[in-house]
Amino acid sequence: TDIFGNPVDDAPLVWTADPALPDFGEGRFRPDAEGRYTLTVTVDGPTHEDRVLTASAEVLVDAGGPAISCVQPALGAMVRRGGDLRFEGRVADQAGLASLSVDGREVPVAADGSFSVPVQPRWGVNVHDVTARDAVGNANSTFCAYFAADNYLGEATPLDDAIQLQLLQGAIDDGAPDRPLTSLTDLLRRVVDSPGLVTTIDQTLRAQNPVVPNECRQRVLGVCVFRLGAEYRGLRVRGPNTLSATLVDGGLRVRARLERMELDVKMLGTVGNSGTISASFISVDLTFAVELRNGRPNVRLRTTNSVQVGSLSSDFSGFLTGALLDLVFSAFEGTIRREVVGALTDFLEDEIDSLLSDVLSGLDLAALGLAFEVPALAGRPPFELSLGLGFSTLSATPRRLAIGISTLANGPTGQGAPSAGVPLSAGPVRLELEPNGTVGAAVHVGLINQLLHRLWRAGFFHFADASGLLGDLPAGASLSLQVLAPPAVEGLGDGAEVRLHLGPAVGTLQIPGVFDDPLQLIL
């Protein structure tokens, strides 16, 4: 106005903003960011008495509620459980903060905008709702999410006993006969009844020849008039043989009985008689330790519980009686008790070891560890994974033979985000599979988490272009999405069910004409 109070509409004016702002006309400014700005207008030109005519006003630019950020644990972090965890964050607003709550509970805020509250994380994805209100009534809310577990398994560390097979007593020995083959002992019975056992004993006995050395047995006037020796020539096992196996703590108890064994004997020296020495039966009661050695199944003799040899008899042609017969008979009796029983014991140990190793190796863990493809989402090519397998435990109780198999998931590396490892479930850790008669199996929940973690590491949950997940989007629209923490499952109840934990995820959405600048997403 002039000195008389009349408006001066055409007075030249100069407008400024502090901090500086772009203008789009006289007295018009476009703020690019929140903040407090001082707008000043000054008359540019002659004034009454050269006075400086100016006026200022402070303007608050507030785009909405307070800005909230997660500090510790960071969004998508992986932490260990164990007592209280300090959940920390930061909040800021140009208008000043009026209140802040975490999970509905009021929380004090420090002068620098930081806040902290103790929380007790549960296993899996934890989500905390944070709501803040500024001094002019604008509110904002967000969530902070992280993953918590009691223990993590290293990405390159096998998970022991990820798969557990249980062979019950019926799978070890369901009794005679051995047809059809329904147990491990059925296989062993066929081996005992095969020529292999007879060949083993035969070779052992032939190595003892001559069983009775061919020596002078009678002299007359210093001249040898009678020489006698004996050697083994062959054998037959008439049978029927019996075999049984029973699970015990730490191993397997095997009872074997060979019926009616006949040894052919040939006399040497002065007489050339032939004959037979027969044992009504030979039985052994042995306990074998069943264990892993250098990652492979191993069977070794632990104890010899008992050895029995039935009545012995002889039948020789020609004339052989008295002390000479006793000499031959006692020599072969000792041979039977020592060498035949030893050969039988060694044969059983070798065959049980071989049989059990072959059966377990028949699982062909290397072959089971074949690569497999996982179909990808959003039109991407499939992901190739493989599962490395190995024996981790082998133990026996009177109830079952337990076989533990370790697993290690392998695959490509599509993203290098940090990870604490594979989360191990705090709930039921085994998913019991429906038993099939005498065989049972269980799968460790950690195996599922190994595979999920490997998929995450391969980039399965990382979408540079996720527009296909939302169906039809406008032309030119784009969506990216990335799951920050590896998904995992936890066992529930009695282990028959699992719960999947997935998230948090971040992404950007851009739709030309709607969102010219990418819209940041947190899911």
For 138-168, the pLDDT digits (tens) are 999 999 999 999 999 999 999 999 988 888 8
Last residue of a domain, one of 361, 391, 413: 361
Residue 363: its pLDDT value, please?
A: 55
Domain end position, chosen among 361, 390, 415: 361
Q: What is the pLDDT of residue 450?
A: 96
Question: Of 322, 338, 361, which closes a domain?
Answer: 361
In this prediction, residues 337-354 reach a mean pLDDT of 86
CB atoms within 10 A of CB 215: 12
Find where tokens 């940041």 sit: 520
Q: Quick one: average pLDDT of 471-476?
A: 70
User: How would residue 92 be classed by pLDDT, with cut points 50, 70 and 90?
Assistant: very high
Residue at 240 is within a domain: no
169 in a domain, yes or no? no
| Rounded CA separation 103/144 (Å) | 10
Q: Is residue 243 in some structural domain?
A: no
Mean pLDDT of the chain: 87
The pLDDT, as a whole number, for residue 353 is: 78
- Examine residue 82 and state whether it is found in any structural domain, yes or no: yes
Do residues 508 and 479 lie in contact, with contact meaning Cβ atoms separated by under 8 Å? yes
Residue 470 is assigned to a structural domain of this protein: yes
Looking at per-residue pLDDT, the higher value among 3 and 447 belongs to 447
- Could you list the residue range(s) of the whole structural domain that residue 431 is in? 159-164+367-522
Q: Which residues share a beta bridge with 410?
A: 386
| Residue 449 reports pLDDT greater than 90 | yes
Answer yes or no: do 331 and 472 share one domain: no
Q: How far apart are CA 22 and CA 43, in angstroms?
A: 20
Beta strands of 250-361 (E only): which ranges? 251-269, 274-293, 296-309, 312-316
Cα radius of gyration rounded to whole Å, the chain: 44
Q: pLDDT at position 105, please?
A: 95
pLDDT of 473 above 80: no
Convert the pLDDT of each residue in 280-291 to its tens digit. Answer: 999 989 999 998
Are 267 and 320 within one domain? yes
- Is pLDDT of 432 > 80? no
| Mutual angle of helices 195-206 and 184-192, in 10-degree steps | 50
Shared-domain flag, residues 508 and 372: yes
Mean pLDDT of 406-433: 87
- What DSSP designation does 364 have? -
Token pair of 103 as six digits: 């999970």
Q: Is the pLDDT of residue 425 over 90?
A: no
Whether 132 and 102 share a structural domain:
yes
In the chain, % of residues over pLDDT 90: 38
Q: Which CATH number do you get for residue 109?
A: 2.60.40.10
User: What's the rounded Cα separation, in Å, for the pair 170 and 95?
Assistant: 77
Distance, C-alpha 225 to centroid of its chain: 79
- What tokens appear for 498 in the block? 């699992």
pLDDT at 435: 61
Helical (H) or strand (E) element with 356: helix 341-361
Does residue 313 fall inside a structural domain? Answer: yes
* pLDDT for the residue 122: 94
Q: What is the per-residue pLDDT across 108-131, written as a single tens digit (0 to 9) for each?
A: 999 999 999 999 999 999 999 999
Among the residue ranges 327-331, 417-421, 488-492, the one predicted with the least confidence is 327-331
For residues 338 and 481, state if they share a domain.
no
Q: Is 86 exposed, middle or buried (0-12, 13-18, 19+ CB in 10 A)?
A: exposed
Q: What per-residue confidence (pLDDT) applies to 329?
A: 83
What's the confidence (pLDDT) of residue 362? 59
Residues 27 and 143 in one domain: no
Res 89 pLDDT > 90? yes
Indicate the Cα dihedral angle 337, 343, 346, 352, nearest 10°: -110
State yes or no: pLDDT of 107 exceeds 80.
yes
Least confident of 53-57, 318-322, 405-409: 318-322
Quick one: 43 and 97 in the same domain?
no
Give the residue-averaged pLDDT of 332-344: 87
30 and 131 housed in the same domain: no
Beta carbons within 8 Å of 25's beta carbon, 6+ residues apart: none
Sign of CA dihedral 355, 360, 363, 365: negative
Q: In terms of Cα–Cα distance, which of 197, 97, 193, 86 is closest to 138?
A: 97
297 shares its domain with 410:
no
**Residue 380 pLDDT exceeds 60:** yes
144 in the same domain as 78: yes
d(CA 199, CA 208): 15
Question: Do residue 87 and residue 44 come from a single domain?
Answer: no
CA dist., res. 428 & res. 496, Å (int): 9
Report, as an integer, the average pLDDT of 364-383: 74
Is the Cβ–Cβ distance between 318 and 175 less than 8 Å?
Answer: no
Are 284 and 413 in the same domain? no
The per-residue pLDDT for 443 is: 87
Determine the number of helices (DSSP H) and then strands (DSSP E) in the chain: 7, 32
Least confident piece of the model among 30-34, 336-340, 430-434, 448-452: 430-434
> What domain count does the chain have?
4
Secondary structure letter of residue 183 according to DSSP = S
Task: Answer whether residue 488 shows pLDDT above 90.
Answer: yes
Question: Tell me, what's the pLDDT at 101?
Answer: 96
Across 150-159, 296-305, 343-352, which has the greatest mean pLDDT? 150-159
In a domain, residue 349? The reply is yes
239 in a structural domain = no
Residue 499: the pLDDT is 92
User: Residue 461's pLDDT is what?
Assistant: 92
